[in-house]
Structure 1
Amino acid sequence: MRIAIVDDDPIVCQSLETILTATGTADVLWTANDGGAAVQQYFASPANHPDILLIDIQMPGKDGLDAAREILPKDPAARILFLTTFADKDYIAQAMALGAKGYLIKQDVAAVGPALQAVMAGQVVLGAEILGKLTERTTNPADSSNSGNANDSATKLLNDREREIAMLVAKGLDNRGIAAKLFLSEGTVRNRISVILDKLGLTNRTQLAIIWLNAHQ
């Protein structure tokens, strides 16, 4: 696979490039040290479009989230994987709402290679710490049993096909992967997910995944 790496620390870019190249995981097309440079590089030519853009969030000037907001409307097929030191709930929610393919913490560098391969296989990748943070959004520590019951009741609002789709969303499959599993068109899956979100009063598929996981753990 061909990837691009964006991080405000050149040493991080160089280290990741060395590791991924040496292990045969990926070829690095280019690197950049801020979001503005990343957008410029990305659209310099079609040949500059990586299979996956590995990008930090907090950087001087344009940050990673703003870079993603510029890239995705122009290239909806872009695969963006965030790699950052910040396990911040708001950052995670923003990243996943944008349509990012994953969110990893830098301390877990060994997970980067497998994460890139999973994204190429059509999965959405969230590190263990990130899943923990997201679960906190739907769990009340003072009454976790009631929270679990509420999540279970919510998923019972779904019909059988919607429950199948919700389960596959929770497993990290994107629309294409779900369509292939259930022999549906991507458009049908997209529409079904919109209906599910409306039924449950949710705004994005990450919230759906967490509710499903809480109801079936």
Structure 2
Amino acid sequence: MKIVIVDDDKLVALSLKTILEASQEVEVLALGQNGQEAIDLYYQFQPEVLLMDIRMDFMTGIEAARHILSKYPLARILFLTTFSDDEYVIQALKLGAKGYILKQNFDSILPAIQAVYSGQSVFGNEIVSKIPQFMNNEQGKDFSAYGITAKEFEMIELVAKGLSNKEIAKKLYLSEGTVRNYLSLILDKLDLRDRTQLAVFYYKN
């Protein structure tokens, strides 16, 4: 996996580079120290995963992600931070970030990068536990207005609970292919990008 690391603490960035490259699964293409450098480095290298801090000088990781995703909507951005502020989590989810984990969860960093690289969305347990709480305060939308059927709504609930396609298929007595087709149709109806945004949409309601 080819990645770029952006963190305003140069020592942290270098340490992450050394540790991740030692796994022989990761190649760090470049290091940056602020949001503007994150944008420049992403445009230059177009890494498979961008590992980026949130709070940085000149431009935050959130602002940088917004710029990058506006041009590269499929960019895989994994936020790595010491802060678990609700507002950051909300912004990261709304932007379409692929992950948000805390720096102190060191053992989860490489697995998170691997998961994001494979197309999954990853949020640490501390983050996942907050989603219902901070989404309940946001104005909801009416599922029926989007033509969501009872079966589709049931599937949305299972996605929001964290079930995989295989688990959903088993629970609803469907094939995994059928589940994938359902989810693709649901995302299209709701104009959402992925399962994480679908879970957020569910909790808003």
Is this contact kept in 1: 2:159–2:199, CA < 8 A?
no
Query: Within the alignment, does 1:50 sit opposite 2:47 as a pair?
Result: yes
Tell me which amino acid in the other structure corresponds to 1:34: N
Would the alpha carbon gap of residues 210 and 117 (structure 1) be closer, same or farther in structure 2, given more than 3 Å must change? farther
For residue 98 of structure 2, the aligned residue among 89, 101, 111 is 101
CA distance in 2, matches of 1:163, 1:107: 35
What is the match of residue 79 of structure 1?
76
TM-score by length of 1: 0.73
Once the two structures are TM-superposed, the CA of residue 138 in structure 1 deviates from its matched residue by 5.8
What is the match of residue 167 of structure 1?
158
Once the two structures are TM-superposed, the CA of residue 24 in structure 1 deviates from its matched residue by 2.0
Is this contact kept in 1: 2:160–2:202, CA < 8 A?
yes
Is this contact kept in 2: 1:55–1:80, CA < 8 A?
yes
CA distance in 2, matches of 1:29, 1:209: 37
1:84-108 CA-partner distances (Å, limit 9, x unpaired): 1110111000001000001000111
Is this contact kept in 2: 1:87–1:133, CA < 8 A?
no
What is the match of residue 121 of structure 2?
124
Structure 1: tracts of 5 or more residues without a match: 141-153, 196-203, 213-217
CA distance in 2, matches of 1:50, 1:28: 9
Q: Tell me how large the CA RMSD over aligned residues is.
A: 3.0
What is the percentage of aligned positions where both structures have the same residue? 37
1:56-86 CA-partner distances (Å, limit 9, x unpaired): 1100001100000100011111000100111
Return 158-167 or 84-93, whichever deviates more: 158-167
1:179-216 CA-partner distances (Å, limit 9, x unpaired): 96624288634223449xxxxxxxx534346579xxxx
How many matched pairs?
A: 183
What is the match of residue 108 of structure 2?
111
Once the two structures are TM-superposed, the CA of residue 137 in structure 1 deviates from its matched residue by 2.6
Once the two structures are TM-superposed, the CA of residue 126 in structure 1 deviates from its matched residue by 0.7
1:152-197 CA-partner distances (Å, limit 9, x unpaired): xx9xx961123214423542879xxxx96624288634223449xx
TM-score by length of 2: 0.77
Q: Secondary structure at the match of 1:30?
A: strand
Structure 2: tracts of 5 or more residues without a match: 138-142, 166-175
Query: Within the alignment, does 1:23 sit opposite 2:16 as a pair?
Result: no
What is the match of residue 2 of structure 1?
2
Is this contact kept in 2: 1:101–1:123, CA < 8 A?
yes
Would the alpha carbon gap of residues 55 and 43 (structure 1) be closer, same or farther in structure 2, given more than 3 Å must change? same
Return 101-110 or 130-139, whichever deviates more: 130-139
